Amino acid sequence: EDQVTQSPEALRLQEGESSSLNCSYTVSGLRGLFWYRQDPGKGPEFLFTLYSAGEEKEKERLKATLTKKESFLHITAPKPEDSATYLCAVQFLETSGSRLTFGEGTQLTVNP
Amino acid sequence: ETGVTQTPRHLVMGMTNKKSLKCEQHLGHNAMYWYKQSAKKPLELMFVYNFKEQTENNSVPSRFSPECPNSSHLFLHLHTLQPEDSALYLCASSQAADTQYFGPGTRLTVL
C-alpha cells in the first residue's frame, strides 16, 4: 500500500531559525507531490506542486524540493505567522489520477 | 479565499438527526471531493465526483450519502451518525487530476 510519511511530527523554532520538513513516500511511481498549509479549524491552503525529481518551487520564505523518494519543505528565517500544520500529499501513478494520499502533517510553531 | 465555500461551518447533531453539508466551488473545476479529517489522522478521501458522476467511494458507510447535482455543487447528506463520525469535513475541487483546492470545512459534532 502506498504510504506518505512526514517528519518531524512537531517542530518548534525561534523566529529566524531556518529548518526543513520532510515528506517521504513509498516508491511506486509518482504522478505529483503537493504541499499544503493548514491553520487550526481551517481547510488546507495550497502551497506547491512538484512533478519530477530535481524540481524546486519557492514562495516567500518557503522552498519545496523533490527527489525520487522524498520532498523537503525548507523554511528560511521563519516568522510567527508561519506557524501552522504543513501537509504533504502524493498522487501515485498506480492509483486513480485524482486520488491524493496525505501524510499526517508537521505542526510547526515559530516563537517570537 | 472564496474559491470553495462550505456551509454550515459548524454543526452539532444528535444520532437520530438528518442534516446536510453543502459545498460550492467558483473555480470552474470539473471534479469535487469530500474528505474527513479526524484528530491525529491523515485526511481521508470519502468520495470523488467527475462531471457530476461519482467515480470513487472509499468504502464509506451508507449513513453518508453524497449528491452532486452539477459540477459546482456538492452535498453530503448525513443520517443516523455515530459519535465517532465527529470530525472536520472538507470539500475540495480540481480541474481533472490537477491541484485540489479546499474549502474551509464543516466542524461536525455528533452527540
CA–CA separation, A105 and A86 (whole Å): 5
Indicate the residue type of A37: R
Touching B: A residues 18-37, CB under 8 Å: 31, 34, 36
C-alpha distances out from residue B99 to A36, A48, B92, Å: 11, 9, 10
- The shortest CB-CB distance from A43 to any of B56, B97, B105 is to B105
Q: What is the pLDDT of residue B40?
A: 82
Q: Which of B6, B16, B4, B8 is nearest to B78 (CA)?
A: B16
Asked whether the beta carbons of A20 and A76 are under 8 A apart, the reply is: no
Give yes or no for residue B7 having a pLDDT over 90.
Answer: yes
Q: Is A100 exposed, middle or buried (0-12, 13-18, 19+ CB in 10 A)?
A: buried
Give yes or no for residue B1 having a pLDDT over 70.
Answer: no
Give yes or no for residue B97 having a pLDDT over 90.
Answer: no
Q: Is A43 in contact with B94 (Cβ distance < 8 A)?
A: no
Chain A's closest residue to B40, CA to CA, is A104
Residue reference for cell 489520477: A97
- The shortest CB-CB distance from B48 to any of A42, A98, A105 is to A98
Q: Which of A82, A80, A81, A86 is nearest to A111 (CA)?
A: A80
A54 close to B (CB below 8 A): no
Q: How confident is the model at residue B60 (pLDDT cuts 50, 70, 90)?
A: very high
Q: Which of A88, A89, A69, A71 is nearest to A28 (CA)?
A: A69
* Cα B51 versus chain centre, distance: 16
Question: What is the average per-residue pLDDT within B1-24?
Answer: 92
Kindly report, residue by residue over A41-100, the tens digit of the pLDDT.
899 999 999 999 999 999 999 999 999 889 999 999 999 999 999 999 999 887 777 889
A57 close to B (CB below 8 A): no
Q: Is B43 in contact with A87 (Cβ distance < 8 A)?
A: yes
The residue with greater pLDDT, A31 or A22, is A22
Provide the 3-class DSSP secondary structure of residue B106.
strand
